[in-house]
Structure 1
């Protein structure tokens, strides 16, 4: 009987851990990240003498430059920019888009994302593991949610700049751009993997790699 109860407890505990939605709960009031520490932990060690400045940033106040190939720029306000976010399980980003600008298909492996449109309008969408696309046009004052880990994108199809504030339930959500991950990884993904996966030739693979490597 005792063994059965122990097994049930272990199973229940494992299920509870597996349903954790975001970063682990904090165990103290604050743990400002010591970004200069050489100690490696799941997150960052606590800074000895935190100040008010560790909890403040104006990094999202101004639009970012969208003068690039994609016509978009993501400005992150995560734990690497605001050390006071360490262990708090939240962060923000500002994304600016030129007319026609694209935040290309990507994923956030550690967070769900919710965007709020500051200016303009965007076509946004995410794709489920069953390859179903959920897409919508959103405009100023509206929001849209991208579930954790799913491939998603935003595109400014308007003739004027657009911008959003993105909220995440992680202090450092991580970003994997699909194209960059596959074509600019180091060491490189073998060409025969990419040619078979995308049903294209080696010359096309090398062309894509060279174009993306220069970004």
Structure 2
């Protein structure tokens, strides 16, 4: 099976990017190859992570463009030139327009720090704590142009412990993201994920459950 060429979009620390880079190096992505980091903040720590991993960079500054569509068109052309087949949004803090969503629908995924459809948008961990839920978690979903509204691929629950603060809960959320996201990418690369409307079927779902058990 040919490699699935992947680009990761990120804006910040890049811990999920690092999880994907490590998984790729260890052969855990079922043939997905990490080809490119796209970043809207050239000084973000994720950029140095990509350099250390030997991953090509596409850096841009949105303020230099007339619109979101203008820089996304430039990104799209580069993705097409490189034969990118999957986009992974991993802490990318920009709204995605139809310029990218439409040609990559069903081939663009995002990781979100809550159990969607609860707590979409920014500060998912903070929202969950403020609401007082006993269980939150992470979601990997397809991107459809709405606010974290695309079809859900996989989720991982994380228990909220008594006395949790954002500082204590967030690391457990991030750890769950860093396990679930590479697993989903691997399933996609293996051809084991099928999208039908809003329904997503995954072969080998027991593998994700086994990973969750190891966390406990």
TM-score by length of 2: 0.24
Larger radius of gyration: 1
Compare the two structures and name the one with the higher helix fraction: 2
